[in-house]
């Protein structure tokens, strides 16, 4: 039976989307990942591009409100937001808070923003490999 993992950040636009896509692509034999936001926005096109560079297509994802998952039991809730309030989700058996920088705060040229999103993607994927790859 696959363990259910819910990644949560504020807008469900980049960090949680990249984490969901990567966990499903890399460890989908053992985990089923989902993502949601406390104030959902729009899928970040830089996150879509960054994931495509490593062979993972998240272009069909959409931002979802955390409420979509009310009363759905999850094995693990992973809050990937920086600071602020983390969501209360009583249906998770376990919770982890792991901060990653918010790509929406990046500024500069297209290439500078893309380079920042790649760094965040690489931090997220390395953390997932370490955390879920050994299980």
Of 53, 49, 50, 61, whose CA–CA distance to 20 is shortest? 61
Which of 9, 66, 80, 92 is an active site residue?
A: 9
Tell me if residue 21 is catalytic: no
Tell me if residue 133 is catalytic: no
Tell me if residue 100 is catalytic: no
Which of 47, 50, 80, 81 is an active site residue?
A: 81
Which of 54, 86, 96, 114 is an active site residue?
A: 86
Q: Report, as residue numbers or ranges, the catalytic residues.
A: 9, 81, 86
């Amino acid at each position: 039976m696959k363990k259910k993992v819910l990644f949560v950040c504020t807008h469900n636009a980049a960090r949680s989307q990249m984490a969901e896509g990567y966990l499903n692509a890399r460890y989908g034999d053992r985990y089923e990942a989902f993502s949601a936001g406390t104030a959902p926005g729009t899928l970040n096109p830089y996150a879509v591009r960054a994931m495509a560079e490593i062979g993972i297509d998240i272009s069909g994802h959409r931002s979802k409100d955390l409420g979509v998952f009310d009363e759905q039991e999850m094995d693990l809730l992973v809050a990937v937001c920086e600071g602020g309030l983390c969501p209360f989700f009583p249906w998770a058996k376990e919770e982890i808070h792991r901060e990653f920088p918010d790509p929406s705060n990046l500024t500069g040229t297209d290439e500078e923003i893309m380079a920042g999103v790649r760094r965040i993607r690489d931090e997220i994927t390395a953390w997932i490999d370490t955390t879920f790859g050994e299980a």
